[in-house]
Each structure stands twice: as C-alpha cells, then as structure tokens.
C-alpha cells in the first residue's frame, strides 16, 4: 500500500488514463495535483468524483511543453501539501498520422509534449523527491515503445524514447532512492481520444480493445491506477528501470 498521505502529481490527470490514476490514488489516501491543459470540464468532473468519494486533490492548468508552467505546477503542489513524493508522467498526444503525413514541425511539437513534458517535470520535481522517504516516478508509456504502430510513427518514436528515458533515470537517480518505471499501456477505453481514429488499420471498432487479446476484458484507466499505486508503494522499492506491459496480453498475439 502507498504510504499514508502520499503527495503525487499526475500530469494529464483531468481525463482519460490520468483521471483513472488520480481516482485510484486518491481512493487509497494520496493527495494529488491533477495537471490538465485542455478539457477543463472533464477535469472538473474528475475532481468532483474524487471529492465526492472523500479524496483530496486539486486541479492545475499547465501546458507540459512549457517548462515554466511545469515548474509552477510543481511549486504549487509543494506549497499546498508541504512535500512531494511521486511524479506520474502521463500527459501525451497521439495524432495518428502516417509517416508520409508527418513533417518536421509536427514531430517537434509532439516531441516537446510527449518527452519534453516528462523531462521538464522530472527536473522540476527532483529536489523535492530527494527529500521524500518513498520517492517515485512512473512514466505512462505504450506498447508502441517496442511494437510499431503503422498508424503513428511519431508517437512510437516518442514512446521508444521514453523507454530509454526511464532506464537512464533509473540508473542515475537510484542513488537518491528514487525508483523510475514505465507502464507500457495497450488499448484502453477512455472517454476522449486525441488524433483521428485509425479505422482503416483496425480489425473492428467493436472488438478494438479485445480482438485477439488473451484476457477478454477491456483495459480501463483504473487498471492503470492500481498498477501505479503499487509502483508508488514502499513494497515496490526495488522495482526500477522496468517497463511493465498492461495490455491484457494483446501484444503476444
């Protein structure tokens, strides 16, 4: 179980996977800063759900590709709760463009959100994590950090980079007791999807999330939340540099 009163930042915590993570962490007693950028309405809905269930969290609007905004989000969290124990890097985009449809500027934009945001947040949190008794970093990534997509090479490039970002951070920050892991997420049912849906490349929309999947249960954000809660716990203190696939076994078939 997470230590009582764990303070965590979840970027992109207002909707989708991030909202599921925030809900689970708060349900287990953590205090969470939910970073969000667009979709303020969804972020407020998530906050109300958490508060109605007796959890403690607050919203902070920040563009993760802007270092100053990320630093301000971290400072606001520490000012509110007096400390910081965990960073869950989750905010990312997936435009679903084919390789011939990409250009340099689009990749730059995607790089600065999907990796730049993770890097800025880690650097901003580092001084506070060093003071924590259970300092943790979890990077939400994708099965497409290892398996190509066909429908979004820019996205898979950024997820491949996060694989090594996680391993490098694990060996460098281990000296401070900071564990760094990533969750390689497969298909997940969310209420919002960025980018256009790659219909022409998928078996069928109805079976999108479970076709050929050994476990015939759709992954939902709360599944991710429970895995993150474990990784944030003292019991996971020797798990670091790991990429844990969460996809119902889909990548095996």
Q: Which residues are annotated as catalytic? A: 155
Candidate ranges 52-60, 89-97, 151-159, 184-192; the one touching another protein (CB under 8 A): 151-159
Q: How far is the CB of 202 from another protein (least distance, A)?
A: 15
Q: Is 156 in the site for another protein (CB under 8 A)?
A: yes
Kindly tell me which of 38 and 123 has the beta carbon lying closer to another protein: 123
Kindly tell me which of 101 and 235 has the beta carbon lying closer to another protein: 101
Q: Is 163 in the site for another protein (CB under 8 A)?
A: yes
Q: Is 161 in the site for another protein (CB under 8 A)?
A: yes
Structure tokens at 76: 């606001």
Burial annotation 242-252 (CB, 10 A radius, 16+ → b, else e):
bbebbbbebee
Dist. CA 156–CA 40, nearest whole Å: 27
Q: Is 108 in the site for another protein (CB under 8 A)?
A: yes
Structure tokens at 142: 């994708």
Kindly tell me which of 169 and 228 has the beta carbon lying closer to another protein: 169
**Could you tell me which residues are beta bridge partners of residue 34?**
10, 59
Q: Is 168 in the site for another protein (CB under 8 A)?
A: yes
Residue 226: count of CB within 10 angstroms of its CB: 16
Q: Which residues contact 132 (CB under 8 A, 6 or more apart)?
A: 83, 84, 85, 86
Structure tokens at 28: 């287990």
Residues within the interface to another protein (CB under 8 A): 67, 98-100, 102-104, 107-108, 111-112, 115-116, 119, 122-123, 126, 144-150, 153-154, 156-165, 167-173, 241
């Amino acid at each position: 179980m997470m230590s009582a009163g764990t303070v965590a930042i979840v970027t992109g915590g207002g909707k989708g996977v991030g909202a599921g993570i925030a809900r689970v962490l708060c349900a287990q007693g953590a205090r969470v800063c939910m970073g969000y950028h667009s979709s303020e309405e969804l972020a407020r809905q998530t906050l109300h759900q958490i508060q109605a269930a007796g959890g403690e969290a607050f919203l902070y609007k920040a563009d993760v590709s802007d270092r100053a905004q990320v630093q301000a989000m971290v400072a606001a969290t520490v000012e509110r709760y007096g400390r910081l124990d965990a960073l869950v890097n989750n905010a990312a985009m997936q435009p679903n463009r084919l390789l011939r449809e990409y250009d340099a500027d689009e990749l730059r934009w995607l790089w600065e959100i999907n990796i730049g945001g993770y890097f800025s947040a880690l650097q901003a949190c580092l001084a506070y994590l060093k003071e924590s008794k259970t300092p943790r970093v979890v990077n939400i990534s994708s099965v497409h950090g290892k398996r190509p997509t066909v429908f979004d090479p820019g996205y898979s490039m950024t997820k491949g980079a996060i694989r090594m970002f996680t391993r490098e951070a694990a060996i460098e920050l281990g000296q401070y007791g900071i564990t760094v892991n990533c969750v390689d997420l497969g298909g997940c049912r969310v209420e919002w999807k960025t980018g256009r849906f790659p219909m022409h490349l998928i078996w069928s929309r109805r079976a999108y999330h479970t076709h050929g999947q050994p476990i015939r249960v759709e992954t939902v954000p709360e599944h991710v939340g429970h895995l993150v809660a474990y990784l944030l716990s003292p019991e996971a203190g020797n798990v670091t540099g790991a990429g844990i696939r969460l996809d119902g076994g889909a990548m095996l078939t």
